[in-house]
Structure 1
Amino acid sequence: MIRKEINPHFEDYVFNWEQTFQFLVGGYGSSKSYHTALKIMLKLLQEKRTALVVREVFETHRDSTFSLCSTIIEELGAQKAVQAVSSPMHIRFANGSRIIFKGMDNPSKLKSINNISLIWIEECSEVKYEGFKELIGRLRHPFLKLHMILTTNPVSKGSWTYRHFFKDELKKRFILDDEALYKKRIVTVGDTYYHHSTAEDNLFLPKSYIRQLDDMKEYDPDLYRIARKGRFGVNGTRVLPQFEVMKHETVMKQIDRISNPLKRTGMDFGFEESYNAVIRAVIDPEQKYLYIYWEYYKNKLTDDMTAKDLDELRGKQELIKADPAEPKSIQYFRQNGFNMIGARKFQGSRLQYTKKIKRFKKIFCSDRCIHTIYELQPLTYAADKDGHLKEDRFTIDPHTLSALWYALDDYEVTDLKAEPDVKQRPNRKRR
């Protein structure tokens, strides 16, 4: 008989083994990792199993997962039934169960492990998506029920954890609205159990720690959202906060109402890692609104294959401004009936083009332009080692932004700060 006091919000979780996947997301100090370690220890005391505990970097186990399991052994008074061995790190149970600790920084060592029926990925957002899928393949046993537990602090909505367990805009895949999880706290969808927690759920946490988390709201809102609220979002300073997604039909209706529409098309070239990206947009010069209504986004295609894909632009007066770093490709498209020229590219052009786009009051994007939405809606600035923003560098390489740069090459958005006050303009006499 073992008696152990646990936080009430984790009671259901600790004893729930119904689903194959169990995804725990929450803020700092919520005790999700502690209760996961406890859950696994209790399971292995009851059943003979081999559990694999994974982190991205192997050595980080020593002060986290391994330390937690060692502490729980002492708290349960189970030293006679369980032994924690520090070198190499593993835990042995008297009934034949064992816990193995591995890092994804040396994935070759995973290949020799057999009959794994339980995997815990701690800080799963740090593990690469390919690594996660590799671990699913390692989860197999001839007769025991299989389980995979993932614990994490929420990061960006662009992370694989959000796309896999909640929604993926690119693949039009929806599993669960994260807002519903924050509201209900515990949700089951199919064979996945979701659990959300914050510092309030840890009754053993000192109030001074919670006050420190609350203070983050003033000096680091992003970290406050992650650490205090335990919620996914956009990390960092957004490049285009005025970017909005709109139904395609609505975008086209709005474009039709523009009295003097300016149509622009831009193209960025790519092949292996980069992408051929084409953006068609319309400017409302009076409102200073930009409408993005059409996109093309593919890679690993030769120019002739791309030209075939873009056949609807062939033989038209529609001017395509393209990446001037690819004159050979531009010449090929020109020879094949495309009205294409190279855009300007100069020292500092990345920064100037980005500032130009930021001057639009609103940027409306058709919901059909899924790659544009994926890249530009959450796009944030990169930072240097001191945390200072780089205004011409971003956390990803956004090919749709490059295409938009070139599309707007010959258009200048009025800088509102540079406009003189109407009241200060001199009166002009009519002649």
Structure 2
Amino acid sequence: MLIEKEVNPSFEDFIFNWDYKFYFLVGGYGSSKSYHVALKLILKLLQEKRTALVVREVFDTIRDSCYSLLEEIVTDMGLDDRIKFTASPMQVKFPNGSKIIFKGMDKPSKLKSINNVSIVWIEECSEVKYAGFKELLGRLRHPSLSLHMILSTNPVSKDNWTYKHFFRNDKKKIFILDDEELYKKRIVITNKTYYHHSLADDNLFLPKSYIEQLDELKTYDPDLYRIARKGRFGVNGKRVLPQFEIAPHYEVLQAIGNIRNPIRRVGFDFGFEKSYNALIRMCIDDDKKILYIYWEYYKNQMTDDRTAVEISEFKDTQEQINADSAEPKTIKYYRQQGFNIRGAKKFQGSRLQNTKKVKRFKKIICSSNCTNTIAELKDLTYAVDKNGEIIEDEFNIDPHTFSSIWYGLDGYEVADIKEQKYDDSVYNKGRGLKNNVYHGRKGGTVF
């Protein structure tokens, strides 16, 4: 069967190369690295009967990322009548008996039943814990087939295990590869590992507006600019919200009044003894990706009946309150008292995902009246472990207002630049270089 598929030239060698055990792909947003990993996987499983395992740290994130990407490629190649996707259990089955299975590291017990996996793809591998990576190495085994592990990620801090394992670990005096050499050469092979670096510029079908968005990051989030635009590891600033600003209350209200389509949200984090009841009113400018915080209630040592009296205005306005779902009895009480309140969704890994969501706002502007929110968030920093490494979902304090913001934003997504979809039909179909279809095995796309 003849299959033609366009690819970005910078990924041609990678797609057809199966000479190494490890493939480490790192780069900026929109570089199409995940797309080409998925394509590489499909082509290999069409050629040979294999079982491949696709992994992310949180299982719930797989369906809308790896699974949907594989499905999109199969459909685009006209193979959806031969390659079958099932949602429960989540699997992809090939006509020759090959299959792809999906697992999350938040459910490690599910890995124990896996057998004869000869290819593992760890997407967003920097989010997987090092212990999880080593566990997956143990699951990669087959009596006769060659073994391969593909790791794809956006670069993060040099404190992350991916940098220490694949580049250098100064504390243990381990040196494998200078990352600057990879940025220069783009493809480096060393220590039985195939390294690949890519940028948005390598994806020839990205619209100019996307590149401009990435360039804008330089002005309001240098760390994200380094990651998203330059695709480089670095030393992250310790502040969790570097875009957090304080403005006079009247200016915040005036700015909210000028939003074309304001999205208003309320979040509620419960507390009593040492923690606090933190109730936050917010307004989102979705067009400009700005989060405004303009009202707060912040008290502890308060029983629910006393708090209900003090926040009774919410019964009159019937504003929807998204609250901590870990307290169903408290939520039920407030609902019985006439409040429009519901539990926000929580899942394994939600702290990290919610933190990333808030960090995607270009600006977070807080009213000067919200003194407790300012006290908690202005200089909020990441906690570090015993080795001095940043823990991305833990902080130097327990920021109750930050939790309130998480809950209030439940169901709302800040557009993640790297996950944006485009209407450009050529980009969606080929994600490669138009009118430049290559032939043959090496540097080719015809099978």
TM-score by length of 1: 0.57
Asked if structure 1 preserves the Cα contact closer than 8 Å seen for 2:125 and 2:151, the reply is yes
Q: Give the equivalent residue in structure 1 for 2:58.
A: 57
Correspondence for 1:245: none
Cα distance 1:107–1:140, how it changes in 2: closer, same or farther (>3 A)?
same
CA–CA distance in structure 1, aligned partners of residues 35 and 147 of structure 2: 21
The match for 2:208 is 207
Structure-1 residue corresponding to 2:95: 94
SS of residue paired to 1:22 = strand
Where do 1:86-235 residues align within 5 Å?
Answer: 86-235=87-236
Contact 2:238-2:382 at 8 Å conserved across structures: no
The CA deviation at 1:81 is 2.2
CA–CA distance in 2 between the matches of 1:197 and 1:389? 34
1:88 shift after superposition: 1.6
Q: Secondary structure at the match of 2:229?
A: helix
CA deviation vs aligned residue, 1:296-332 (integer Å, no higher than 9, x gap)? xxxxxxxxxxxxxxxxxxxxxxxxxxxxxxxxxxxxx
> Deviations along 1:85-113, whole A, 9 cap, x unmatched?
12221100010000001000001111101
Paired letter, 2:144: F
1:395 aligned residue = 383
The residue number in structure 2 matching 1:46 is: 47
Distance 1:81 1:209, change over 3 A: same
Contact 2:199 2:229 in 1 (8 A): yes
Amino acid at match of 2:93: R
Percent identity over the alignment is 67
Paired amino acid for 1:171: K
**1:170: Cα distance to partner?**
1.1
Q: How far apart, CA to CA, are the structure 2 residues paired with 1:63 and 1:49?
A: 24
State the alpha-carbon separation in 2 of the partners of residues 232 and 103 from structure 1: 25
Amino acid at match of 2:138: G
1:79, distance to aligned residue in structure 2 (A): 1.8
Alignment of 1:289-304 (within 5 A): none
Cα distance in 2, alignment partners of residues 186 and 385 from structure 1: 46
| Corresponding position: 1:33 with 2:34 | yes
Deviation at 1:394, TM superposition (A): 4.8
Distance in 1 separating the partners of 2:139 and 2:39: 23
Runs of 4 or more above 2 Å deviation:
383-391, 397-400
Distance in 1, Cα, partners of 2:387 & 2:183: 33
Structure 1 residue 190, shift from structure 2 partner: 2.3
Q: Distance in 1 between matches of 2:119 and 2:385?
A: 37
Distance apart, 1:130 and its partner CA: 0.1
Q: What is the 5 A alignment of 1:345-356?
A: none
Instruction: State how 1:300-319 maps to structure 2 within 5 Å.
Output: none
Aligned CA-pair RMSD? 2.4
Q: Give the Å deviation of 1:395.
A: 3.2
CA–CA distance in structure 1, aligned partners of residues 197 and 238 of structure 2: 26
Summarize deviations over 1:317-356 as a string: whole Å, max 9, x none: xxxxxxxxxxxxxxxxxxxxxxxxxxxxxxxxxxxxxxxx
Q: CA separation of 1:220/1:131 partners in 2, compared to 1, >3 Å: closer, same or farther?
A: same
Please tell me the residue identity of whatever aligns with 1:138.
R
Note the C-alpha offset of 1:399.
8.1
2:16 & 2:387 partners in 1: Cα distance? 47
Amino acid at match of 1:226: I
Cα pair distance change 1:28/1:130, threshold 3 Å: same
Letter of the aligned partner of 2:155 in structure 1?
A: P
Q: Hey, what's the Cα distance between the residues in 2 that align with 1:114 and 1:35?
A: 26
Pair 1:24-2:25 in alignment: yes
Residue identity opposite 2:206 in structure 1: L
Give CA-to-partner distance per residue, 1:45-76, whole Å, 9 cap, x none.
00000000000011111110000000011111
SS in 1 for 2:71: helix
CA contact (8 A) 2:176 2:191 kept: no
Query: Deviations for 1:217-274, whole angstroms, at most 9, x for unmatched residues?
Result: 0111110000000000011258xxxxxxxxxxxxxxxxxxxxxxxxxxxxxxxxxxxx
Deviation at 1:398, TM superposition (A): 6.3
Equivalents in 2 of 1:394, 1:58: separation in Å?
A: 25
Contact 2:23 2:149 in 1 (8 A): yes
SS in 2 for 1:395: strand
Output the amino acid matched with 1:395: A
Q: What is the alpha-carbon distance in structure 2 between the residues aligned to residue 195 and residue 139 of structure 1?
A: 22
Separation in 2 of the partners of 1:207 and 1:78? 31
Pairwise mapping of residues 253-332 of structure 1 onto structure 2 (< 5 A)? Answer: none
State TM-score, norm by structure 2. Answer: 0.55
| Per-residue CA distance 1:362-399 (angstroms, 9 max, x = gap) | xxxxxxxxxxxxxxxxxxxxx999894537x5531568
Paired letter, 1:187: V
Code of the aligned partner of 2:384: I
Report SS of the residue matched to 1:80. coil
Structure 2 residues not aligned, in runs of 5+: 240-363, 365-371, 389-447
Name the structure 2 match of 1:236.
237
- State which structure, 1 or 2, has the greater radius of gyration over its C-alpha atoms: 1
Separation (CA, whole Å) in 2 of partners of 1:143 and 1:25: 30
Deviation at 1:77, TM superposition (A): 0.7
The 3-state SS of whatever aligns with 1:90 is strand
Query: Alpha carbons of 1:197 and 1:78: their partners in 2 closer, same or farther (altered >3 Å)?
Result: same
Task: Classify the secondary structure of the residue corresponding to 2:218.
Answer: helix
Report Cα offsets for 1:5-61 as digits up to 9, x if no partner. 000000010001011000000000100000000000000000000000000011111
